């Protein structure tokens, strides 16, 4: 199952890359939402190889996954791989400078089931594809808007 959306942001590409790789902020945000997050690598290491164990409640079931940064091409892209509960998810965030002060962010997620239970979950997600796509686009747009506002605040 594939999700993809694009957002244009009024911020330079370097600032946007720094925002999408600010994992400490993402960790704190997830913990505030009830997600258990444990970083397995040391802060300050290179981006590639950073990894986390994550546990959360989804559709009434406790889910666990391992999340890892698999590639990074600063300031253009970053790829993450999530594995767990019989499923893998590849996430790719690409940034393209439209001008010195404007950036296009493209977010792609591919879900791949590995077990029968995961296939059933993905099948149920496909039945609600339009609703999930709409929520995905709204979440990415909200992230873009919040990041743009934070980056463009006067110092």
Per-chain mean pLDDT for the chain? 91
Distance CA 51, CA 35 (A): 15
> Residue by residue, what is the 3-state secondary structure of 12-33?
CHHHHHHHHCCHHHHHHHHHHC
- Any bridge partners for residue 7, and if so which? 105
Which domains are assigned to the chain? 2-151 (3.30.530.20)
The percentage of the chain sitting over the pLDDT mark of 70, rounded to a whole number, equals: 97
Query: Strand order of the sheet with strand 51-58?
Result: 2-9, 102-113, 87-99, 77-84, 61-73, 51-58, 36-39
* Predicted structure pTM score: 0.88
Instruction: Give yes or no for residue 134 having a pLDDT over 80.
Output: yes
Per-residue pLDDT reduced to its tens digit, 30-89:
999 999 999 998 766 688 989 999 999 887 888 899 999 999 999 999 999 999 989 999
């Amino acid at each position: 199952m594939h999700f993809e959306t694009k957002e244009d942001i009024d911020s330079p590409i370097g600032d946007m890359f720094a925002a999408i790789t600010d994992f400490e902020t993402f960790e704190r945000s997830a913990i505030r939402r009830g997600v258990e997050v444990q970083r397995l690598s040391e802060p300050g290491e290179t981006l590639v190889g950073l990894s986390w164990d994550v546990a959360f409640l989804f559709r009434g079931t406790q889910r666990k996954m391992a999340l890892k940064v698999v590639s990074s091409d600063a300031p253009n892209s970053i790829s993450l791989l999530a594995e767990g509960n019989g499923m893998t998810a590849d996430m790719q965030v690409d940034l393209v400078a439209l001008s010195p002060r404007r950036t296009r962010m493209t977010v792609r997620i591919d879900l791949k089931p590995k077990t029968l239970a995961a296939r059933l979950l993905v099948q149920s997600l496909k039945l609600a594809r339009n609703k999930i796509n709409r929520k995905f686009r709204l979440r990415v747009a909200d992230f873009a808007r919040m990041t743009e506002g934070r980056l463009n605040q006067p110092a």
